Amino acid sequence: MIESVGSGGPEDVVDITSFASKLSALASGKSISEAEPAPAPAAEAAPAAAAAPAAGPSIEYSDTDKDVILEAANGGMHAYHIKVTLAAGCVLKSARTYMVMNSLDQVGEVVKSVPPAEDLEQEKFDQSFDVVVVTDSEMKPIEDTLLSISEVDTVEMTDAVEEIKQLEAPAAAAAPAEAAAPAASNVPATTAPTAPVAKSAAPPAKKPAADAKKLKGGQSVRVDIEKLDTLLNLMGELVINKVRLEQIGITHRLTELTETLEQMDRVTTDLQTVVMKVRMVPVGQVFNRFPRMVRDLAKELNKELNLTVEGEETELDRTVIDEIGDPIMHLLRNSLDHGLEHPDEREAKGKPRIGEVGLIARHEGNNVVIMVTDDGKGIDADVIRRKAVEKGMISQEEADSLDDADAVRLIFLPGFSTAEQITDVSGRGVGMDVVRSKIETLGGHVDVETKIDEGSVFKIKLPLTLAIIQALLVKVQEEMYAIPLGSIDSTINITQEDIKTVRNKEVIVLRGQIIPIIRLGDVLNVPRVNEKDNDDIFVVVVHIGERKAGIVVDNLIGQQEIVIKTLGKLLAGLKVISGATVLGDGRVAMILDVSALM
């Protein structure tokens, strides 16, 4: 029918009434023979034909499922199809399915679930669901474990390998009875009046069904994260060699090579995009664990709040997803303990008794921003200054010279805490500095905005990916360095006269804003081999959050796509260098950590 419509033909090329009545009968639990009584000669075969569909498995196995299950069986493992039925009136179905899945994960690997895991979490199923698990455990212990879970009514277990064999050999099972063979394959007996029409309908009807089954099975594939890392590394090598070829083309003026590389550049960019997307995971996987934690903590602190979660579909690199859970947890605990006031205190201030806490994720250019917000009492800069001086972290003069925004950022210092008493929640001096160091190791940045009695916003900015980035290559004497393009505001030329001194620090005035400058050669102790001939000074203006700084370099090379390589364990403690990259000519350039420089 689909092929007929696709080729512009009529839709009613097939009489489907007989086929539809059989499907309706099967769906309502009846047999095919009840839907359409067969003539006398075929009557004896009817029960056998009717029994065939009932004996088949209640889920479909894709080709991928079959390969995984049979491969496991060949390796001496068991594969079980488990049908779990929950008790009627079960209140927390999603919690029960989670407990079932968690129990199965302890004994083996879940290959398939019907409906999918997302639907199970959202309770989009009736009372029962099917799971296929590969394990080295026997059937009885698994059954006992699942039945011990509260509100699990029944557990039916069958051998998945036997079900697959049964599916792959339906004709062999029906071979003894010639009349039953057409019935077993859902084609009416040859004596039925509509037999010729039904037979002609069989090929087009089966083809779309087979395609749909193939598509359904190919929707997702489990891939080891190490394989994705290898793929990313290979992609990185491809980018390095592409840049090398571009340099050869420019140096030797090879027009044909340059034209070919333009096409190759488009292909590698598309390939890079696909590789990155494969590694992307929705941030909702991390966010889902927090509502329960927030609810429990609010109860413990006797506070009332409403948690709003937004942007759960925002995607981040898998390596980042695995690491950001703890920093977000620290920020949420901080908002609940230090930020939100008690309901009576809120009421006295004219605020609603129920506080608002937000957990928000969104894209900003090539970054993902995660914000933890609250409408609490905010952070008092004077209190922060006083605490920092009391703890000996800064002197009184330094505290007086800080503006309110910089004073509030003192909360990120190691060991800082405003809590008067040490509790399980706060006062241990562990928290905000851990958040900052963790985010910075991921190439990100954390900042805070606050207003007294209006609340606070903690903003985490993270790169979309940690592997291939655009960077500006700069030179200091004969050494090459890369500055990530996402941190660069602009590049300017200045003279020595443009540099002023404020509080013994060199600064420049750019568009009415005072910006401190950092001489990269001095920070990195680069030996001066030769002096510059001209008076122009190249400055790369960089920003981290709202803060800006100018990095003085000897020369600007240009923008380039670079592959980030880690420095390894021996050089893990370096502050200013975040990694290295291999340039097109084979040289190694260090990648600067802008946040550490500032």
Polymer length of the chain: 598
8 Å CB contact between 335 and 294: no
CA torsion, ordered 111, 116, 120, 122, to nearest 10 deg: 150
For residue 327, the surrounding DSSP H or E stretch is: helix 325-334
In the DSSP assignment, the letter for residue 499 is -
Verify cis geometry, omega within 30 degrees of 0, for the bond prior to 115: yes
Which spans in 38-194 are helix H? 46-55, 63-74, 93-107, 117-121, 139-147, 160-168, 170-174, 180-184
Q: Which of 384, 258, 377, 364 is nearest to 316 (CA)?
A: 364
Strands 468-476, 547-553: pairing is unpaired
CA torsion, ordered 505, 510, 512, 516, to nearest 10 deg: -20
8 Å CB contact between 520 and 574: no
For residue 245, the surrounding DSSP H or E stretch is: helix 225-252
Q: Which of 119, 130, 134, 124 is nearest to 65 (CA)?
A: 134
8 Å CB contact between 378 and 329: no
The single-letter code of the amino acid at 504 is N
8 Å CB contact between 76 and 29: no
In the DSSP assignment, the letter for residue 37 is P
For residue 509, the surrounding DSSP H or E stretch is: strand 505-510
What is d(CA 462, CA 460) in angstroms, rounded to the nearest whole number?
Answer: 6
96 three-class SS = helix
524 three-class SS = coil
Strands 500-502, 513-519: pairing is unpaired
What is d(CA 425, CA 338) in angstroms, rounded to the nearest whole number?
Answer: 10
> Which residues, including other chains, have CB under 8 Å from residue 182's CB and lie 6 or more apart?
188, 189, 190
8 Å CB contact between 273 and 304: no
For residue 136, the surrounding DSSP H or E stretch is: none
Q: What is the pLDDT of residue 550?
A: 93
Tell me the pTM: 0.50
371 three-class SS = strand
Per-residue pLDDT of the chain (598 residues; tens, 9 = 90+): 787 777 777 777 777 888 888 888 888 877 766 655 444 443 344 444 343 344 445 678 887 888 888 888 888 888 999 999 998 878 778 888 888 888 888 888 888 888 888 788 888 888 889 999 999 888 888 988 898 888 888 999 998 888 888 877 654 544 444 444 444 444 443 333 333 333 333 334 333 433 433 333 346 677 887 888 788 788 878 888 888 888 888 888 888 888 888 888 888 888 877 887 787 888 998 898 899 999 989 999 999 999 999 999 988 888 788 888 889 999 999 889 888 999 999 999 999 999 999 999 988 766 789 999 999 999 988 888 888 888 888 888 888 888 888 888 888 888 777 665 545 555 444 568 888 888 887 878 888 999 998 999 999 988 776 567 788 999 988 889 999 888 888 999 888 888 888 888 889 988 888 899 999 888 888 887 766 656 788 999 998 777 889 999 988 988 887 877 777 777 766 778 878 888 877 788 898 888 778 7
Question: Which two structure tokens, joined as six digits, stand for 239?
Answer: 């980018």
**How many other CB atoms sit within 10 Å of the CB of residue 497?**
7
Q: What is the pLDDT of residue 65?
A: 81
- SS percent in the chain: helix, strand, coil, step 5: 45, 25, 30
Q: Which of 121, 128, 127, 141 is nearest to 80 (CA)?
A: 141
User: Which residue is listed with tokens 């003069």?
Assistant: 397
What is d(CA 184, CA 570) in angstroms, rounded to the nearest whole number?
Answer: 68
What is the spatial order of strands in the sheet that 455-463 belongs to? Answer: 305-310, 355-364, 367-374, 455-463, 445-451
> Which residues, including other chains, have CB under 8 Å from residue 350's CB and lie 6 or more apart?
none
Question: Which two structure tokens, joined as six digits, stand for 147?
Answer: 């039945």
What is d(CA 105, CA 386) in angstroms, rounded to the nearest whole number?
Answer: 51
Question: Which two structure tokens, joined as six digits, stand for 222?
Answer: 């489990």
Question: Which two structure tokens, joined as six digits, stand for 423?
Answer: 């509790």
> Which residues, including other chains, have CB under 8 Å from residue 167's CB and lie 6 or more apart?
56, 57, 61
SS3 labels along 105-122: HHHEEEEEEECCHHHHHC
User: In this predicted model, what pLDDT tens digit does every residue of 127-155 receive, in sequence order?
Assistant: 889 999 999 888 888 988 898 888 888 99
Strands 479-484, 305-310: pairing is unpaired
263 three-class SS = helix
377 three-class SS = coil
> Which residues, including other chains, have CB under 8 Å from residue 494's CB and lie 6 or more apart?
508, 536, 537, 539
Question: Which two structure tokens, joined as six digits, stand for 16?
Answer: 């489907």
